[in-house]
Amino acid sequence: MKLKVRLTHLDAGGKLLVIMNAEDAEELGVRSLSRVMLRKNGLEAIAIVNTTTRMFHRGSVGVCLEVQQRLQLCEGEMIDVELSNPPNSLNHIKKRLKGRKLTHAEIKEIIRDVVNGLLSDVELTSFVTSIQHFALDMDEATSLSIAMVESGKTLQLDKKIIVDKHSIGGVPGDKTTLLVVPIVASCGLTIPKCSSRAITSAAGTADRAEVYMPVNLSLEEMRRVLEKADGCIVWGGALHLAPADDIFVNIEFPLSIDPLLLPSIMSKKKAVGSKFVVIDIPTGAEVKVKTMVEAQLLAQDFIEIGRRLEMNVQCAITYGGQPVGHAIGPALEAREALENLTNMRLHRDLVDKATDIAGMLLEMAGIQDGEAKAMYALKSGRAERKMREIIAEQGGNPDINPEDIPVGQYTLDIEAEHHGILLWIDMPRLVEIARLAGSPKDKGAGVLLHKKLGEKVSKGDKLFTVYSEKAGKLESVYSSLKDSPIMLVGHSMEMTLSCVKDYKPQPDRFMLDR
Amino acid sequence: MKLKVRLTHLDAGGKLLVIMNAEDAEELGVRSLSRVMLRKNGLEAIAIVNTTTRMFHRGSVGVCLEVQQRLQLCEGEMIDVELSNPPNSLNHIKKRLKGRKLTHAEIKEIIRDVVNGLLSDVELTSFVTSIQHFALDMDEATSLSIAMVESGKTLQLDKKIIVDKHSIGGVPGDKTTLLVVPIVASCGLTIPKCSSRAITSAAGTADRAEVYMPVNLSLEEMRRVLEKADGCIVWGGALHLAPADDIFVNIEFPLSIDPLLLPSIMSKKKAVGSKFVVIDIPTGAEVKVKTMVEAQLLAQDFIEIGRRLEMNVQCAITYGGQPVGHAIGPALEAREALENLTNMRLHRDLVDKATDIAGMLLEMAGIQDGEAKAMYALKSGRAERKMREIIAEQGGNPDINPEDIPVGQYTLDIEAEHHGILLWIDMPRLVEIARLAGSPKDKGAGVLLHKKLGEKVSKGDKLFTVYSEKAGKLESVYSSLKDSPIMLVGHSMEMTLSCVKDYKPQPDRFMLDR
């Protein structure tokens, strides 16, 4: 069937989509989400069909940006549209829907077609949901990691010892990476740190680091920084290290599920050539991993997958019961990290966590007394100098000081209503408040804690301060805080947490960030 | 945020979709597939967001047809767009993703939101896939059936005994309904038969009946036909009896899964007010239900759901090893059915099946010797007169005779290459051939069998004839048939069916039609 091209300028999220008139589609024998083969002057592409009764008349076909670019199409030109079989990878997805595990070759084919935009949202979702229901076994997780690496770019570094760290996420204010990278790099190891931006959290490491310096580096720019400074903190999203993962995230996010945690993290570690990796697994009732048993099992999986991918992996199971340090939100956290790097102020928990993880990496790389050496790098100012070197190489101002970092000019102080001990912090709500205030988009927005668990509180003491760049956003924060408190101050825990009289679904507090 | 409306004229398949500039979306804090609340002059709607970098500039928002109509929007007018929470039903879907069964109230809310277009493809797919993995229990299936009935229209008939029959499908050439409806109606029962069109098969009952008469009736027109003739055969798709089901089919079809079989069928029987229902479960190696054990279990489920929906259900487990009668394809089948109704020619298997099922319905309604009475109705010409009455009431030509029905003018005869017995027919390939020839869209296309299982065949005997309305389609049939045969003629079965030397996925032969 010859059809006239109509450019829609619609970006289909990487998918190859065409919009056909419903009668043309029936004539050709395709339904919505069936496939057609498009051909023009020797170029061809398989596209997914959507149908319309009114957007286009018979004889016309709307093409999304991706199809336009793939086939170099112009408005009004004719292309050949024929019925096509779905890609073979769809058979593999259907096979898994029937409860069968997938082979390496099948997973490779799926990932290739995901990246090439050949699978529809319905097909992608059934695959992700199937993995949510019947978890990946070790073979599948390994194959997925390898396929994700092979479908993307990789970093080739001429360095002896390449190490990396990653937190599976979930603890607000976790700026540990901003300390670990300069500590480890200042000890002679190479750490090509790729970080993500916030999806459901108040700040991702990339958001925090961006307060100091550009983080949207290309792979070549990243390589250049590493050659000189042995460390970097860049945003992973622009590097195309595992492009399939970005597509899966778009499915996982609306469903609040995270079945691809292992391959998502491990593929990116492999893609940058890491040999020694520490995975941080924060554990606590209000983060992703609730119990030590779960944490141990997950750690075992990370170590085993690491072995199969030829990476030496160790895991740090860390306390996830309250925020790390006092600051939550990109600028507040960047400021706090810099205070610690410059020894202007040390946050015990942050320093403890950073030197523990850095110490593990040093020892994995053969350096004895890792933690002590990490602490020395921090206290001696060597980590600070390394951080300033990295900032300079990534194009930031190497002379930046904590007080130079602007934070939101609108603030709201929350005070204690009575004396006691700070017994409990609602971390998901803390994130909610920071996001209401504008995090992560408004870098200066966030929350600064003045008290942490177990500290004595007097009536009228400031418990925390909310920062915002916009007065209107602070008003939303104010009305949200009025409804229910975020911290519990008292002398002993109140035993009844909630009276359930009828069923009321709890608000969704899912953390996808990993 | 105030945005300028841009009409896209895109039909989003019933969903409320808007397309926002990516920067506007980020400013508002929404990702693709998040929700926004749209407001204009007191009207409001929650819509699903897609983002674009190029289709619309900042400050504009593209709206699909469904949103345009809901809010009565004009090109260029301003609307208010604010962040919105996802509908509550999404929490229920997420709950089921976690392995929890759903309550009646939750299922009701999901179905309501499905019908109102509030759920995205990703969300719908995760729900359907979840049911594929953890099958509906009886409570859920019942609740889904009830919710589907409540979300659609229902037929109110002032008739004493309303009966119905349904085949779960899968056997090519199954025109039984075209005989059962007039037989039963001619015996004084009322049978409001709603049928579907082919999705993956060569012909649905609606496609077959449309050869005699219009089948796209409204519910009111259907009621009028039933008041006069006590029977009808209409297309269910235009009646909005269970509109959620049509939306689920769009998800099930590309995935080749059918987890909603029970509520899909039973909701429609309930919606037309049936009291006595026979479900036909064809059983055999090449249809949906492979074994008697499976068939018995499925029958039990149908009977139990019927009980809960206050319908008396019985099941007929029928032989599904070869096509019913000799004709496959809308016109060929309609002609064959009319030959039997007019007693011009009787196909033993078709008559046997039709009178058995009609007999079961008669006995359920309290009429003794059901099968004999059904046979008498057929042989005496009473069923034929009833069918002509129905044809007249639905607006067809009541004087139609088998020879008046046009079939494809291009034919291809396939002859036996040696003597023997017809031992095996590849039914899925038979359907494939009929569809290649143009079925179901080209009514005259199809296949006419000249031999059936167990019949003697001499070399050169015609095995079957393919009919097509277009010479080009017959060429595709010819090349497909050259590749591999569809029938096996011999003196005993060849024992090796296939040698597996390496893995080659089999072509997809899924039957969604039910």
Tell me the CATH number at A395. Answer: 3.40.1030.10
DSSP B242: S
- Predicted local distance difference test score (pLDDT) of residue B216: 96
With beta carbons less than 8 A apart as the criterion, state whether B486 and B429 touch: yes
Q: Please report, in angstroms and rounded to a whole number, the separation of the first and last CA atoms in chain A.
A: 47
* Spatial distance between the Cα atoms of A173 and A202, rounded to a whole number of angstroms: 8
Chain A contact set for B32 (CB, 8 A): 13, 250
Last residue of a domain, one of A402, A434, A449: A402
B34 near A CB under 8 A: yes
Q: What is the DSSP string of B377-443?
A: HHHTTHHHHHHHHHHHHTTS-TT--GGGS---SEEEEEE-SS-EEEEEE-HHHHHHHHHHTTTTTST
- Predicted local distance difference test score (pLDDT) of residue B103: 96
Distant-in-sequence, close-in-space partners of A403: CB < 8 Å, separation ≥ 6: none
Domain annotation covers residue B248: no
With beta carbons less than 8 A apart as the criterion, state whether A406 and A329 touch: no
pLDDT exceeds 90 at position B498: no
Mark whether A184 and A283 lie in a shared domain. yes
Q: What is the DSSP string of B113-163?
A: HHHTT-S-HHHHHHHHHHHHHS---HHHHHHHHHHHHHTS-------S-BE
With beta carbons less than 8 A apart as the criterion, state whether B316 and B281 touch: yes
Mark whether B270 and B186 lie in a shared domain. yes
Question: Which residues sit opposite B422 in a β-bridge?
Answer: B489
Mark whether A453 and A466 lie in a shared domain. yes
Mark whether A474 and A433 lie in a shared domain. yes
Per residue in A370-386, pLDDT (tens digit) is: 999 999 999 999 999 99
* Spatial distance between the Cα atoms of B358 and B340, rounded to a whole number of angstroms: 15
Determine the distance in angstroms separating the CA of A368 from the nearest CA of chain B, rounded to an integer: 45
Size of interface A-B (CB pairs under 8 A): 136
- Predicted local distance difference test score (pLDDT) of residue B94: 94
Residue of B nearest to A436 (CA): B29
- Predicted local distance difference test score (pLDDT) of residue B502: 77
pLDDT exceeds 80 at position B421: yes
Domain annotation covers residue B251: no
Domain annotation covers residue B219: yes
Report the residue of A6, A23, A101, A126 to disrupt the B interface, i.e. the one with the largest count of B CBs within 10 Å. A126
Report the residue of B28, B126, B508 to disrupt the A interface, i.e. the one with the largest count of A CBs within 10 Å. B126
Determine the distance in angstroms separating the CA of A250 from the nearest CA of chain B, rounded to an integer: 8
**How many whole angstroms from its chain centre is CA B238?**
13
A340-379 residues touching B, CB cutoff 8 A: none
Chain B contact set for A109 (CB, 8 A): none
Mark whether A344 and A290 lie in a shared domain. yes
> What's the whole-number mean pLDDT along residues A415-438?
94
- Predicted local distance difference test score (pLDDT) of residue A409: 97
* Spatial distance between the Cα atoms of A96 and A143, rounded to a whole number of angstroms: 15
**Choosing from A246, A258, A280, A442, which is the catalytic residue?**
A258
Chain B contact set for A82 (CB, 8 A): none
- pLDDT classification of B54: cutoffs 50, 70, 90: confident
Residue of B nearest to A437 (CA): B29
The 3-state DSSP composition of chain B as helix, strand, coil percent (nearest 5) reads 40, 20, 40
Domain annotation covers residue A245: no
Per residue in B195-232, pLDDT (tens digit) is: 999 988 999 999 999 999 999 999 999 999 999 999 99
Report the residue of B91, B125, B128 to disrupt the A interface, i.e. the one with the largest count of A CBs within 10 Å. B125
Torsion of Cα atoms, B131 then B137 then B140 then B144, to 10°: 60
Determine the distance in angstroms separating the CA of A442 from the nearest CA of chain B, rounded to an integer: 10
* CB contact (8 A) between residue A88 and residue B505: yes
* Spatial distance between the Cα atoms of B484 and B480, rounded to a whole number of angstroms: 7
A504 near B CB under 8 A: no
* Choice among A433-442, B19-28, B169-178 with the minimum mean pLDDT: B19-28
Identify the three-state secondary structure at position B448: strand
- pLDDT classification of A85: cutoffs 50, 70, 90: confident
Who wins on pLDDT, B34 or A292? A292
> What's the whole-number mean pLDDT along residues B261-284?
97
Mark whether B211 and B358 lie in a shared domain. yes
* Spatial distance between the Cα atoms of B137 and B143, rounded to a whole number of angstroms: 10
Determine the distance in angstroms separating the CA of A396 from the nearest CA of chain B, rounded to an integer: 25
Mark whether B74 and B92 lie in a shared domain. no
Token duo for residue B447: 């296949």
- Predicted local distance difference test score (pLDDT) of residue A495: 83
Domain annotation covers residue A146: no
- Predicted local distance difference test score (pLDDT) of residue A27: 84
DSSP B444: T
pLDDT exceeds 70 at position B464: yes
Chain B contact set for A31 (CB, 8 A): 199, 250, 253
Tally the domains of chain B.
4
pLDDT exceeds 70 at position B86: yes
Chain A contact set for B504 (CB, 8 A): none
* CB contact (8 A) between residue A254 and residue B123: yes
pLDDT exceeds 70 at position A505: no
A55-74 residues touching B, CB cutoff 8 A: 55, 65
Q: What CATH number did the domain enclosing B14 receive?
A: 2.40.40.20
A258 is catalytic: yes
Q: What CATH number did the domain enclosing A121 receive?
A: 1.20.970.10
**How many whole angstroms from its chain centre is CA B18?**
31
Mark whether A127 and A17 lie in a shared domain. no
Domain annotation covers residue B29: yes
User: Is residue B7 within a helix (H) or strand (E), and if so which, with residue range?
Assistant: strand B2-7
Whole-number mean pLDDT of chain B? 94
Last residue of a domain, one of A48, A69, A84: A84
Identify the three-state secondary structure at position A380: coil
Per residue in A234-254, pLDDT (tens digit) is: 999 889 999 999 899 999 999
- Predicted local distance difference test score (pLDDT) of residue A11: 83
* CB contact (8 A) between residue B11 and residue A55: yes
Per residue in A121-151, pLDDT (tens digit) is: 999 999 999 999 999 999 999 999 999 999 9
Mark whether A276 and A375 lie in a shared domain. yes
- Predicted local distance difference test score (pLDDT) of residue B428: 93
* CB contact (8 A) between residue B435 and residue A29: yes
**How many whole angstroms from its chain centre is CA A103?**
27
Strands A43-52 and A35-40: antiparallel
**Residue type (1 letter), B367:** I
Nearest to A254 among B19, B122, B134 (CB): B122
pLDDT exceeds 80 at position A508: no
Domain annotation covers residue B117: yes
- pLDDT classification of B505: cutoffs 50, 70, 90: low
Predicted model pTM: 0.91
Chain B contact set for A92 (CB, 8 A): 505
Q: Which domain holds residue A376?
A: 163-235+264-402
Identify the three-state secondary structure at position A391: helix
Domain annotation covers residue B436: yes
- Predicted local distance difference test score (pLDDT) of residue A478: 93
**Which of A277-286 are b and which e, b meaning 16 or more Cβ less than 10 Å from the residue's Cβ?**
bbbbbbbbeb
> What's the whole-number mean pLDDT along residues A322-340?
98
Q: What CATH number did the domain enclosing B433 receive?
A: 3.90.1170.30
B52 near A CB under 8 A: yes
Mark whether B316 and B173 lie in a shared domain. yes
**Which of B207-235 are b and which e, b meaning 16 or more Cβ less than 10 Å from the residue's Cβ?**
bbbbbbbebebebebbbebbeebbbbbbb
A256 near B CB under 8 A: yes
Nearest to B54 among A9, A255, A441 (CB): A9
> What's the whole-number mean pLDDT along residues A66-94?
93
- Predicted local distance difference test score (pLDDT) of residue B261: 96
- Predicted local distance difference test score (pLDDT) of residue A269: 97
Who wins on pLDDT, A485 or A49? A49
Per residue in B320-366, pLDDT (tens digit) is: 999 999 999 999 999 999 999 999 999 999 999 999 999 999 999 99
Mark whether B229 and B183 lie in a shared domain. yes
Distant-in-sequence, close-in-space partners of B379: CB < 8 Å, separation ≥ 6: B343
- Predicted local distance difference test score (pLDDT) of residue B484: 79
* CB contact (8 A) between residue B33 and residue A253: yes
Longest CA–CA span in chain B (Å) reads 79
Length of chain A, please? 514
- Predicted local distance difference test score (pLDDT) of residue A292: 94
% of chain A at pLDDT higher than 90: 84
> What's the whole-number mean pLDDT along residues B242-271?
94
Mark whether A327 and A418 lie in a shared domain. no
ipTM: 0.87
Token duo for residue A375: 């602490």
pLDDT exceeds 80 at position B504: no
Report the residue of A46, A51, A106, A122 to disrupt the B interface, i.e. the one with the largest count of B CBs within 10 Å. A122
* Spatial distance between the Cα atoms of A312 and A385, rounded to a whole number of angstroms: 29
- Predicted local distance difference test score (pLDDT) of residue B496: 81
Chain B contact set for A110 (CB, 8 A): none
Question: In 3D, which of B411, B410, B412, B414 has the Cα closest to residue B484?
Answer: B414
Enzyme catalytic residues of B: 258
- Predicted local distance difference test score (pLDDT) of residue A494: 80
Chain A contact set for B121 (CB, 8 A): 120-122, 125
Q: Measure Cα distances from A133 to A208, A258, B97, B492 in Å.
A: 34, 11, 7, 45
Omega into A440 within 30° of 0, i.e. cis?
yes
Residue of A nearest to B119 (CA): A254
B130 near A CB under 8 A: yes
Report the residue of B133, B257, B509 to disrupt the A interface, i.e. the one with the largest count of A CBs within 10 Å. B133
